[in-house]
Chain A
Amino acid sequence: MNLKNKKLTATAYHVYHQEPLSLEKMEILLTRAETRLSQQEAPPLMIKRVFTVLEELMGNILKHGIQNEATTRMPLVSLKEEAESYEVITGNVIKQEEIAPLKAHVHSLNALDRAAIKEKYNQVVMSGKISEKGGAGLGLITIAKLTYHKILINFESLNDHFAYVLLTIKIPKQNN
């Protein structure tokens, strides 16, 4: 995907945010997503899945994303509805050296079937530790377990030190 050519507009989105992200802003976006989906009478289970994906990804941006004057690119959080799924896209700046481990993590999850994802989840829940930043390393595994879909990951290099990472998650309206 050519990120430079991927123009996102706010019109078709339940949530569209491309500004600095804070804990307070995250709450506003979660409430907005919940309200919009409730108004559209989405099933409660679906609303909860979308909420989970948004919360985990925004949590990751707050824990791991770089938001300071050294980077000009703002975090992105979007949610839109498609015919057969909801699509969540998040973007944030990370250090260049974080690209390889993140890519490897996503690709390893994408290579697993549902039973193997579950096994991986159980293994990390039982043996994982909570990091200094408060993460359990379970966010993307939880998303993979919940959505049955592969996680799409793209990077754009910003300079020698930083890159912009885009994660795209599809949450199917029907379980496969």
Chain B
Amino acid sequence: MYNFEIEATEKTPGVIINPGQQYFEIRGNSRPENVREFYAPIIKKIDDFFLTENSSSEASSKPYEFNFRLGYFNSSTAKFISDILLKAAEYSDEGYPIAVKWHYEEGDEDMKEAGEDFSEMLSFDFDYVKHKRKN
């Protein structure tokens, strides 16, 4: 499966799905005009990737990393983030080693809390990564 990348814009996040590295990242701001149109292909790519994987293969001992590096997301986006995280939790239940890293800027307690809320909703532990605020 090929790498999948979307460049970030002011209103839509950058996305990286790198199957070779077992790496997923979503970065930036998310308030797309058509949220479904933006996120549906991303969720499909994640599903496609896991369809070709084998949870018991040797390579799968390395965690599949889901990185959320969001600066801002609106309420419609929240629904799709939860869908992506739900996928991650489901694949974890199927035996894939999944690590969710929730990044937030120093002082942005709302973003950290958003991650904690998702984690609580899914009963799935996240790693929280605090970054220094960019000036």
User: Would you call B133 and A44 a contact (CB within 8 A)?
Assistant: yes
User: Would you call B36 and A134 a contact (CB within 8 A)?
Assistant: yes
A and B contact pairs by CB, cutoff 8 A, 28 listed: A23-B33, A44-B105, A45-B107, A45-B108, A45-B109, A45-B110, A48-B108, A48-B110, A52-B74, A55-B31, A56-B74, A121-B117, A122-B121, A125-B78, A125-B79, A125-B118, A126-B121, A130-B79, A134-B34, A136-B75, A136-B76, A136-B79, A138-B75, A138-B79, A139-B75, A142-B75, A142-B78, A146-B110
Answer whether A134 and B76 are a contact pair too, CB < 8 Å, given A118-B117, A122-B121. yes
User: Would you call A126 and B82 a contact (CB within 8 A)?
Assistant: yes
Majority DSSP secondary structure for residues of B touching A:
helix
Looking at the assembled complex, report how far the CB atom of B88 sits from the nearest CB atom of chain A, in whole angstroms: 14
Confirm or deny: B24 has a beta carbon within 8 angstroms of a beta carbon on chain A. no
Chain A: interface residue total (CB-CB under 8 A): 26
Residues of A within 8 A of B33 (CB): 23, 134
Residues of B within 8 A of A126 (CB): 82, 86, 121
Residues of B within 8 A of A55 (CB): 31, 74
Confirm or deny: A150 has a beta carbon within 8 angstroms of a beta carbon on chain B. no
User: Would you call B79 and A128 a contact (CB within 8 A)?
Assistant: yes
Interface residues on B, range: 20 to 34
User: Would you call A49 and B110 a contact (CB within 8 A)?
Assistant: yes
Confirm or deny: B127 has a beta carbon within 8 angstroms of a beta carbon on chain A. no
B36, B72, B75, B107 pick with most chain A CB within 10 angstroms? B75
User: Would you call B107 and A130 a contact (CB within 8 A)?
Assistant: no
Confirm or deny: B15 has a beta carbon within 8 angstroms of a beta carbon on chain A. no
Per the 8 Å Cβ criterion, residues 120-149 of A in contact with B are 121-122, 125-126, 128, 130, 134-136, 138-139, 141-142, 146
Confirm or deny: A51 has a beta carbon within 8 angstroms of a beta carbon on chain B. yes
Confirm or deny: A43 has a beta carbon within 8 angstroms of a beta carbon on chain B. yes
Per the 8 Å Cβ criterion, residues 106-135 of B in contact with A are 107-110, 117-118, 120-121, 133
